[in-house]
Amino acid sequence: MRKKRDEIGDGAEGLGPELGRLWASAPVPKAPSWFAARTMARLRREEDSRKSWFGMPKWVLIGTGLALLALGWFRWESQPTIRDAEVYAALNALVEEDRESRWWAGL
Partner 1 sequence: MAEDRESKIDDALVRRMAEGDEEALRELIVRHEDRVYGTVARMIGGAGPDAEDLAQQIFLRIWKAAPKYRAEAKFTTWLMTVTRNLVFTFCEARARRLEVSEEIVDEEAEETIQRKESVAARTPREDLSGKELIEAVEEACAQLPMKQRLVVHLREHEDMDFSEIGEILGISELGAKSLMFRARENLKIKLSAFLTEPS
Q: What angle do CA 53, 57, 63 make, to 5 degrees?
A: 100
Q: In this complex, which beta carbon is closest to partner 1, that of residue 25 or of residue 81? A: 25
Least distance to partner 1, CB of residue 15, Å: 6
> Residue 59 Cβ, how far from partner 1 at the closest point, in Å?
15
Q: CA 29 to CA 39: how far, in whole Å?
A: 18
Q: Between 50 and 99, whose beta carbon lies closer to partner 1?
A: 50
User: Where does this chain bind partner 1 (CB under 8 A)?
Assistant: 6, 8-9, 11-16, 18-20, 22-32, 35-36, 38-40, 42-44, 46
Pick between residue 14 and residue 65 the one whose CB is nearest to partner 1: 14
Sequence-ordered alpha helix ranges (H) in 1-107 = 17-25, 35-50, 58-77, 84-104
Phi, psi of 53 (to 5 degrees): -100, 125
